[in-house]
Copies of this chain bind each other. A is one copy, B any other.
Amino acid sequence: MAEKMALAKAINESLRRALESDPKVLIMGEDVGKLGGVFRVTDGLQKDFGESRVIDTPLAESGIVGTAVGLALRGYRPVVEIQFDGFVFPAYDQIVTQLAKMHARSLGKVKMPVVVRIPYGGGIGAVEHHSESPESLFAHVAGLKVVSPSNASDAYWMMQQAIQSDDPVIFFEPKRRYWDKDEVNTEAIPGPLHKARVVREGTDLTLAAYGPMVKLCQEAADAAAEEGKSLEVLDLRSVSPLDFDSVQASVEKTRRLVVVHEAPVFFGSGAEIAARITERCFYHLEAPVLRVGGYHAPYPPARLEEEYLPNLDRVLDAVDRSLAY
């Protein structure tokens, strides 16, 4: 059924559906029970599925992921919540050395169907550690898949697919879009989890983004259209694997690419995209791939975040610079 719902609610519905359809699915995390999570993404789930399926954990992220690994070994499919981006690091060791490598270590004997949900990104005026975009730190690690939806419908379906995946998926939820509403068709059969989507067609330049920055790129394309520039907007949806084929196809057409993400530019996903697309499209590119992202600085205090984050002006500035080549 198609229904308009907020992105947070779409994830909530998707988790509910997973809990209903597979008794092995578990929800774990800090405050995910009665409180329903600090963003209410797990609202009502403990009430309906009980404390043994929706588990308030001790305040210890390594413990959350480490026990999820054990539960997966026992045949469960845990969906764990990290309360905020900046609090995933105590779990980083379990994610990188255990969760990511267990399947390979066992020569394929065991599977790790664990989803790590991380509300991420800035723009909500929060205090330190609550606004970061650490996706690069996971994409570099083989064994993990990294995805980020940009809208409610994708959030619903990508969560379904992430839970069904036998691989660990780091699921980055664009927290500043939690309240954005979109049509969600809970019956549509979705495309593959790791495939990019052309959000808007264009001919002069490609804007590639994922998660919270897709909306910004759409706005930039609108603004550029008013100036007679036709921008194509790609929603990458997945950071690992990255759908280079779709980016390549778009760039072969537009011959220009700007990548936008909130994470710092230095060693960010824009670097990987620029490097690979330049290799694939060397003779097509009219301009170097440009990147718009965070600076090489700690995420700043809230009153500076607008200067730090990519915004319409900075995206359009990069578009102009690219078109000037």
> Is A23's CB within 8 Å of the partner chain B?
no
Query: Which residues of B lie under 8 Å from residue A137 when comparing CB positions?
Result: 137, 140
Say how far A167's CB is from chain B's closest CB, in angstroms. Answer: 13
Interface residues on A, range: 35 or more
Whole-angstrom CA separation of A236 from B89 in the bound complex:
29
* Closest B residue to A263 using CB positions: B140
Which A residues from 159 to 202 make CB contacts under 8 A with B?
none
Q: Is the CB of A298 within 8 A of B267?
A: no
Q: Is the CB of A266 within 8 A of B274?
A: no
> Is A115's CB within 8 Å of the partner chain B?
no
Query: Which residues of B lie under 8 Å from residue A291 when comparing CB positions?
Result: 275
Whole-angstrom CA separation of A271 from B269 in the bound complex:
9
The 4 closest A-B pairs by CB, nearest first: A89-B93, A274-B275, A140-B267, A271-B271
A residues near B (Cβ < 8 Å) are 62, 86, 89-90, 92-93, 96-97, 100-101, 104-105, 128-129, 136-137, 139-140, 142-143, 240, 263-264, 266-272, 274-276, 278-279, 282, 287-291, 295-298, 325
Q: Is the CB of B298 within 8 A of A101?
A: yes
* Closest B residue to A268 using CB positions: B140
Say how far A113's CB is from chain B's closest CB, in angstroms. Answer: 18
Across the interface, A136 reaches (CB within 8 A) one of B90, B97, B140, B298, namely B140
Q: Is the CB of A267 within 8 A of B274?
A: no
Known A140-B137, A240-B266, A274-B271: A287·B297 in contact at CB below 8 Å: no
Known A274-B275, A275-B289: A136·B296 in contact at CB below 8 Å: no
* Closest B residue to A137 using CB positions: B137
Whole-angstrom CA separation of A137 from B135 in the bound complex:
11
Q: Which of A93, A128, A139, A270 has the most CB of B within 10 A?
A: A93
Q: Is the CB of A142 within 8 A of B298?
A: yes
Whole-angstrom CA separation of A291 from B271 in the bound complex:
13
Whole-angstrom CA separation of A268 from B269 in the bound complex:
10
Q: Is the CB of B272 within 8 A of A269?
A: no
